[in-house]
A and B are shown apart, each in its own frame.
Chain A
């Protein structure tokens, strides 16, 4: 017994502290959510009953919940589908020999420093005041109305905001990655008569893959849980056109007294993130060049 206690050293103490903190403040709430997703607890009532998988059945039957899944996936595909290619192009342009290179990079990274909430609130006013005024003067009828006020265009407005901010971070990571590609590879490709596009696919792209995986996973994850922009701009409206899963979980769990249903949507979101992350890692990992 004494010998066993002696074996416990400083490493165990710090490991235990980490384990306890993580279990209480992260794992326990996560399991709590899983547990209540099988009940009918509304969040404040004293009692609850087990309802099995009823909440989950409802997720795939209720049109409002299905709508939120559809919006979340569509938002993720469009937002990431534009953000990542744009940031690769911007990184390549910023990596050429240009004047004011540092100044350009300073500005291109700046949106990544801002809070998503603040970006959302700023754009909210731009959609309400700036763009309609611009549409008036330039005669662009599309911009004359507040984009966020119509169910047809509100989704587009959230996409615009997300791209404005989310291009910044991947761009910087891609620049760092581009700098690590040996220049003689390009010379060799040029000698072989490869055009710019061929050079990109044959030389640049394989080197970008490890960074691409990181950026894709991070971007997709952030998009799947999108909350702040919607909270700041549309509140899920108009007519639920922007009600993402992340927003719906919050709304149902707090204002609508459907805590257990909110938990079941959260678990579905978790499974989606797990699947997507593993697919990306498995799918792209084989093709990359290990730059490190």
Chain B
């Protein structure tokens, strides 16, 4: 075999492995989508084929379920408000720590908060549920506070690592112009650290949108149900109506898929930037 033939064979195997991988990834998604357009009898007859017609009743009955809209709205509200608060609070905390490297309070704060990375959520989940219900915070407001607090653990770590690379002279010129501490931060530092802010937004968006365990133990009231709790409810209530569940699943992953399709480059660089830089 010549070198060229060898190279060709090598490339053939690369494509072969990659395409097998793609098929393995797409298979469950394909099954989900085609069966969300089928009736139960059609699904049980042929699970893999394309739907025979455009049967939209699954989607219709999910959308007409008032619980679906409550859940969608709750998830949207919780995600948007949490992300907004996280983007504001996390960099400010990290900035306060970076600006006071020799003060005991701030170095304690850094280790105290980032140490949370080693604590599994299972340790906190059940006691948290009890504490929150005693404080009457087993609701949307309460879960937002919890998400914002837990986002600090990773967020402060990432932001602090990134802020250390920003030269201090930059905001000193702003002080000379008479700007206050936080004004200097928001007008000069904040724009410089947008890459790490993007990382934080993406990580937390995916986490909060998809989060299940915290919502499961906190959201005892059905009016606070999130999208994940709604999707899970199909498993119990309608054990065999997986077509409906598939329709709900498809609708829950559409927003993330659209965002990903448009922002793939930013999402991937954002995620890798955060992990590779630190």
A-side interface residues toward B, CB under 8 Å? Answer: 9-12, 14-15, 17-19, 21-22, 25-30, 32-33, 36, 43, 89-90, 93-94, 96, 98, 102, 104-119, 121-126, 129-130, 133, 164, 169, 172-173, 175-177, 180, 210-211, 214, 221, 224-225, 227-228, 231-232, 245-246, 249-250, 253-254, 259, 262-263, 266-267, 269-270, 273-274, 277, 291-292
User: Which residues in B have their C-beta under 8 angstroms from that of A43?
Assistant: 126, 130
Mark B5-23 against chain A: 1 for CB-CB distance below 8 A, else 0: 0000001001101100110
Pick the contact of B122: A129, A164, A245 (CB < 8 A): A245
A18 near B152 with CB under 8 A, answer: yes
B150 at interface (Cβ–Cβ under 8 A)? Answer: yes
B47 within 8 A of A: yes
Given contacts A25-B146, A176-B276, contact A98 B15 (CB under 8 A): yes
Docked CA distance A210–B273 (Å)? 13
The chain A residue with its CB closest to the CB of B100 is: A11
- Cα-based distance from A21 to B105 in the complex (angstroms): 16
User: Is B232 part of the contact surface with A, judged by Cβ < 8 Å?
Assistant: yes
Measured CA separation A22–B173 after assembly (Å): 34
Chain A nearest CB, measured from B116 CB (Å): 6
Are B145 and A267 in contact (CB-based, < 8 A)? no
Beyond A117-B212, A227-B122, A254-B126, 6 additional contacts (C-beta under 8 Å) are A18-B113, A18-B156, A29-B128, A107-B25, A263-B123, A274-B118
Interface size classification for chain B: 35 or more
Find chain B residues with CB under 8 A from A267 CB: 123
Judging by beta carbons under 8 Å apart, are A269 and B271 in contact?
no
The number of residue pairs between A and B whose CB atoms lie closer than 8 Å in the complex comes to 243
> Shortest CB–CB separation between residue B248 and chain A, in angstroms?
9
Cα of A114 to Cα of B249 in the assembled complex, Å: 10
Please list 26 pairs of residues, one from A and one from B, whose beta carbons are closer than 8 Å in the complex, sorted by A's number. Answer: A10-B180, A15-B96, A15-B105, A90-B21, A109-B268, A113-B260, A114-B256, A115-B212, A115-B228, A116-B212, A117-B232, A121-B234, A121-B235, A122-B32, A126-B31, A130-B31, A172-B268, A180-B276, A228-B212, A246-B122, A250-B125, A253-B125, A254-B217, A263-B123, A266-B120, A273-B118
Partner of B268, one of A105, A130, A262: A105
Assembly CA distance A249 to B18 (angstroms): 39
Cβ-defined partner of B252 (8 Å) among A118, A228, A274: A118
A112–B18 Cα distance when bound, in Å, is 17
B21 touches A11 (CB 8 A): no
| A21 → B minimal CB distance (Å) | 5
Q: Which residue on chain B has the smallest CB distance to residue A90?
A: B21
B26 at the A/B interface (Cβ < 8 Å)?
A: yes
B residues sitting closer than 8 Å to A (CB atoms) are 11, 14-15, 17-18, 21-22, 24-29, 31-32, 35, 43-44, 47-48, 89, 92-93, 96-97, 99-100, 105-106, 109, 112-113, 116, 118-128, 130-131, 145-146, 148-150, 152-153, 156, 180-182, 206, 209-213, 217, 228, 231-232, 234-235, 242, 245-246, 249, 252-253, 256-257, 260-261, 264, 268-269, 271-273, 275-277
- Are B256's CB and A107's CB within 8 A? no
Of listed A93, A175, A180, A245, residue having the most chain B CB within 10 A = A93
Task: For residue A118, give the distance in angstroms from its CB to the closest CB of chain B.
Answer: 5
A32 to B242, CA, bound (A): 40
Given the known A-B contacts A117-B232, A126-B28, are A33 and B124 also in contact in the complex, defined by CB atoms under 8 Å? Answer: yes
For A176, the chain B residues whose CB sits under 8 A away are 268-269, 272-273, 275-276
Query: B126's contact among A90, A118, A173, A250, by CB below 8 Å, is which?
Result: A250
Closest to B118 in A: A274
Known contacts A21-B152, A22-B152, A108-B25; is-contact A263 B125 (Cβ 8 Å): no
With a cutoff of 8 Å between Cβ atoms, the chain A residues found around residue B242 in the complex are 125, 129
CA–CA, A111 and B233, complex, Å: 22
Contact B120 A269, beta carbon cutoff 8 Å: yes
A277 near B118 with CB under 8 A, answer yes
Q: Which residues of B contact A180 (CB under 8 A)?
A: 276
- The residue in chain B whose Cβ has the minimal distance to the Cβ of A101 is B18
Nearest-neighbour CB distance to chain B for A71, whole angstroms, equals: 15
Q: How far is the CB of A167 from chain B (nearest CB, A)?
A: 9
Whether B22 pairs with A107 at a CB distance below 8 angstroms is: yes
The docked-state distance in angstroms from the alpha carbon of A106 to that of B28 is: 16
User: A191 vs B182: C-alpha distance in the bound complex, in angstroms?
Assistant: 56
Given contacts A173-B275, A214-B275, contact A33 B127 (CB under 8 A): yes
Residues in A neighbouring B11, C-beta threshold 8 A? 98
